[in-house]
Amino acid sequence: MEKEVSTTVKIRFNDCDPIGHLNNVKYLDYMFNAREDHVEEYYGFTYEEYTKKTGCTWIAIQNEIAYLREVRYNTSVVISSKTIEIQDRTAKVEILMKSLDEKTVYAVLWVTVIYFNIKTRKSEVHPEDIKDTFHKFFVDLDQKDFQSRVKFLRSQNAKNS
């Protein structure tokens, strides 16, 4: 089974600045939307369904993003996601925006989420079935902190230029 899942999307003109570059905040929109699609398609549920069924959801508590290369309107990009850390109450996901040939990384986003009970308004320990699902898509990166990961991806981009 593929641990890093991906979708292809086209960058829209209205999401770009006057010189045709994707606006910084729009990277987040594209990346979060792709992640939501990945969860539905590969993990087998939507966040809405899961919350209705369990009363729990995941809340982002930290985002770290680095913009490595510009993306222009009308460009098709591959957006991939994978779980890179699983703790009792938190998890971390890496989302990459890449060129179609996947040789250039345009942006990297690390999202840390906490498992949260909406009724009690408190975090909870992940249920075992969710931990098992996350482990199916877990990738153990060599780079354990965000700045090291960014440095590595920049060096990969330089090699592939």
- Does 161 fall in a domain? no
**Cα dist. 72→13, 61, 135 in Å?**
8, 29, 35
- Does 37 fall in a domain? yes
pTM: 0.95
Cα–Cα–Cα angle for 143, 153, 9, rounded to 5 degrees: 115
The predicted-structure confidence for 34-56, as pLDDT tens digits, reads as follows 999 999 999 999 999 999 999 99
**Cα dist. 115→55, 67, 84, 88, 119 in Å?**
11, 28, 16, 9, 13
Cα–Cα–Cα angle for 151, 69, 101, rounded to 5 degrees: 95
How would DSSP label each residue in 65-96?
Answer: EEE-S--BTT-EEEEEEEEEEE-SSEEEEEEE
The predicted-structure confidence for 81-135, as pLDDT tens digits, reads as follows 999 999 999 999 999 999 999 999 999 999 999 999 999 999 999 999 999 999 9
For residue 53, what are the domain limits?
A: 5-156
Domain count, the chain: 1
Judged by DSSP in three states, 154 sits in: helix
pLDDT value of position 2? 79
Are 64 and 84 in contact by the 8 Å Cβ rule? The answer is no
What's the pLDDT band for 6 if we cut at 50, 70, 90? very high
- CATH number, domain of 41, equals 3.10.129.10
- Does 101 fall in a domain? yes
